[in-house]
Amino acid sequence: MEVVEPCSKRRAASCTKTIACPCKTKYKRYVQPSRAKSFAPEHLYKVPSTQFEDRTTYHLSYLNDRAAARCARLQPIRPVHNLQKSTDKFFDETTNKLSYKPVRQTVKAEPIIPKRRPVTTTDTMENVTTVRHDYGAKHVERPEMIIPCGNIRTSLAALDDKTMARLSYVSPGPIEPVISFNPILEYRPSSQPLPKETTQKLSYQPFVVIKKEFLPWAQKPIYKSPEIAMCGKTTYSESYMENDEVSVEKPFLPVATYVFPYGAKFADKTIYKESYLPGNVERMVPFVPCGNISISDAKMSADTTSKLSYQRVWTEKQKPYLPRTKTMLATAKMQSDTTSRCEYVAKTTLRPDLIVPSDNIRTVDVPLEGETTTALSYVKPDMIKPVRSYKPVMQYYRKLYQELIVRLQSTATTSASSSDIQIPNRIERGPTDILKALESTISRDYTAPHYKFHDDPFLIPQSNMHNRSYALAKESGRKTAMWIRQEHRDLFQHKVADPEIKAFVPLSIYTEESKVTEETLLYEISNGNIVNCIAIYDLLKGEMTIPTKQTLLELLCFYNNSERTDEWLETRWYKLDQKYKKNVWLSYSQIDVLFEFLKEQEPKVAAAAYTAMICGLAKHFSLDKALYLYEESQGKSIPLSVDGYNAMISIIPLLRKENSLKSKSLLMNIYRTMTVNGITPNIHTFNAALNVATTLKTNEVLDFTKKILADITKFKLKPSLTTYYYLLRILSNFGDASYNSFIKILTSLKNETITIQNEKDLNFFVVAMEMASQQFCDRQVGEMVNELLLTGENYKFISNNLREHIYYRMYLELILATEEFENFFKLYSKLVPHVTIPEPIMMSAILEALKLHPAQTAMQYIPKLWSHIIMFGHLNREELMKNILHLMSVHCKPLSDSPLNAQFAEMALTIWDHIQTQNSKRLQHVLVSNIIMGNIILLLLRGNNFTKTIEIISLLIRSPHLIENGQTITAEHINEIFELCLAQAHVPAIFTLLEYVTFHSLEGAGEMAGKLYKTVSLTPNQKNILASLVGNDVLELQISDEN
pLDDT digits (tens, 9 = 90+) for 464-491: 889 989 999 988 998 898 889 888 888 8
Q: Select from 557, 625, 624, 628 the least CA-distant residue to 590.
A: 557
Domain edges within the chain: 1-33, 495-640
Residue 369: the pLDDT is 64
Residue 13: the pLDDT is 42
> What is the percent of the chain where pLDDT is above 90?
34
Q: How confident is the model over 276-290, as pLDDT tens digits?
A: 556 565 666 666 655
Q: Which residues contact 115 (CB under 8 A, 6 or more apart)?
A: none
Q: Select from 639, 642, 692 the least CA-distant residue to 666.
A: 692
Q: Select from 55, 59, 75, 73 the least CA-distant residue to 143.
A: 73
Q: Is the pLDDT of residue 924 over 60?
A: yes
Cα–Cα distances (Å) from 669 to 274, 608, 636, in that order, read 90, 21, 16
Residue 122: the pLDDT is 57
CA atoms within 13 A of residue 1003's CA, in its CB half-sphere: 3
Residue 664: the pLDDT is 85
829 vs 270: which has the higher pLDDT: 829
Residue 293: the pLDDT is 54
Residue 655: the pLDDT is 81
Is residue 807 within 8 Å of residue 768, measured between CB atoms? no
User: Exposure string (b/e) for 5-36, b if CB count within 10 Å is 16 or more?
Assistant: bbeeeeeeeeeeeeeeeeeeeeeeeeeeeeee
Per-residue pLDDT band at 295 (split at 50, 70, 90) = low
Q: Is 594 exposed, middle or buried (0-12, 13-18, 19+ CB in 10 A)?
A: buried
Q: Select from 834, 826, 924 the least CA-distant residue to 872.
A: 834
Give the whole-angstrom CA distance, residue 757 versus residue 796.
Answer: 13
- H helix and E strand count, the chain: 43, 2
Phi, psi (degrees; rounded to nearest 5) at 4: -100, 130
Q: Which residues contact 704 (CB under 8 A, 6 or more apart)?
A: 664, 693, 696
The secondary structure element, H or E, covering residue 28 is: strand 26-30
Per-residue pLDDT band at 950 (split at 50, 70, 90) = very high
Q: Is the pLDDT of residue 433 over 50?
A: yes
Give the whole-angstrom CA distance, residue 850 versus residue 846.
Answer: 6
699 vs 862: which has the higher pLDDT: 862
Q: Is 611 helix (H, G, I), strand (E, B) or coil?
A: helix
Q: Is the pLDDT of residue 305 over 70?
A: no
Q: Is the pLDDT of residue 383 over 60?
A: no
Give the whole-angstrom CA distance, residue 880 versus residue 869.
Answer: 9
Residue 508: the pLDDT is 85
The residue-averaged pLDDT of 732-741 equals 91
For the four alpha carbons of 632, 638, 642 and 644, in that order, the dihedral sign comes to negative
Q: Select from 888, 894, 838 the least CA-distant residue to 862.
A: 888
Is residue 104 within 8 Å of residue 292, measured between CB atoms? no
Q: How confident is the model over 41-80, as pLDDT tens digits?
A: 777 777 777 777 777 777 666 656 655 555 555 566 776 6
Residue 125: the pLDDT is 66
Cα–Cα distances (Å) from 530 to 510, 535, 549, in that order, read 12, 9, 14
Tell me which of 477-491, 655-669, 971-985 is least confident.
655-669
Q: Is the pLDDT of residue 302 over 60?
A: yes
Instruction: State the distance between the two ends of the chain, measured CA to CA, in whole angstroms.
Output: 98
Most confident of 121-130, 160-169, 445-454: 445-454
Q: Is 890 helix (H, G, I), strand (E, B) or coil?
A: helix
Q: Which residues contact 879 (CB under 8 A, 6 or more apart)?
A: 840, 844
Q: Helix, strand, coil % (nearest 5) of the chain?
A: 50, 0, 50
Strand partners, 2: 30
Eight-class DSSP state of 382:
S
Is residue 772 within 8 Å of residue 732, measured between CB atoms? no
Identity of the amino acid at 467: N
Tell me which of 304-313, 942-951, 972-981 is least confident.
304-313
The residue-averaged pLDDT of 962-971 equals 90
Residue 329: the pLDDT is 42
Cα–Cα distances (Å) from 745 to 712, 715, 741, 755, in that order, read 15, 20, 6, 16
Q: Is the pLDDT of residue 326 over 60?
A: no
Give the whole-angstrom CA distance, residue 839 versus residue 874.
Answer: 9
The residue-averaged pLDDT of 418-426 equals 73
Q: Is the pLDDT of residue 384 over 90?
A: no
The secondary structure element, H or E, covering residue 26 is: strand 26-30
Q: At what angle do helices 698-714 and 721-731 cross, to 10 degrees?
A: 160
Per-residue pLDDT band at 206 (split at 50, 70, 90) = confident
Q: Is 3 helix (H, G, I), strand (E, B) or coil?
A: strand
Q: Select from 502, 516, 509 the least CA-distant residue to 486.
A: 509
Q: How confident is the model over 512-551, as pLDDT tens digits?
A: 888 999 999 999 898 888 888 889 999 998 889 999 999 9
Residue 934: the pLDDT is 94
Residue 480: the pLDDT is 92
Tell me which of 129-138, 375-384, 603-612, 968-977 is least confident.
375-384
Give the whole-angstrom CA distance, residue 392 versus residue 471.
Answer: 50
Phi, psi (degrees; rounded to nearest 5) at 2: -105, 140
Is residue 21 within 8 Å of residue 8, measured between CB atoms? yes
Q: Select from 602, 611, 605 the least CA-distant residue to 642.
A: 611
Q: Is the pLDDT of residue 370 over 60?
A: yes
Q: Is the pLDDT of residue 696 over 90?
A: no
Is residue 849 within 8 Å of residue 816, measured between CB atoms? yes
Residue 321: the pLDDT is 56
Q: How confident is the model over 161-204, as pLDDT tens digits?
A: 777 777 777 666 777 777 777 888 888 887 888 777 787 777 77
How does strand 26-30 pair with strand 2-6? antiparallel
Residue 673: the pLDDT is 92
Within a 10 A sphere around the Cβ of 186, how many other Cβ atoms? Answer: 5
Q: Is 594 helix (H, G, I), strand (E, B) or coil?
A: helix
Q: Is the pLDDT of residue 432 over 60?
A: yes
Residue 394: the pLDDT is 52
Q: How confident is the model over 4-51, as pLDDT tens digits?
A: 555 554 444 444 444 444 445 555 666 667 777 777 777 777 777 777
Give the whole-angstrom CA distance, residue 979 versus residue 996.
Answer: 16
Q: Is the pLDDT of residue 120 over 60?
A: no
Q: Is the pLDDT of residue 256 over 60?
A: no
Q: Which residues contact 421 (CB under 8 A, 6 or more apart)?
A: 415
Give the chain's mean pLDDT.
79
Q: How confident is the model over 594-636, as pLDDT tens digits?
A: 999 999 999 999 999 999 999 999 988 888 899 999 999 999 9
Q: Select from 1036, 963, 960, 1032 the least CA-distant residue to 1001.
A: 960
The number of angstroms, rounded, from the C-alpha of 275 to the middle of its chain's C-alpha atoms is 70
Tell me which of 125-139, 309-323, 382-396, 457-471 is least confident.
382-396
Residue 401: the pLDDT is 52
Tell me which of 146-160, 341-355, 442-456, 778-792 is least confident.
341-355
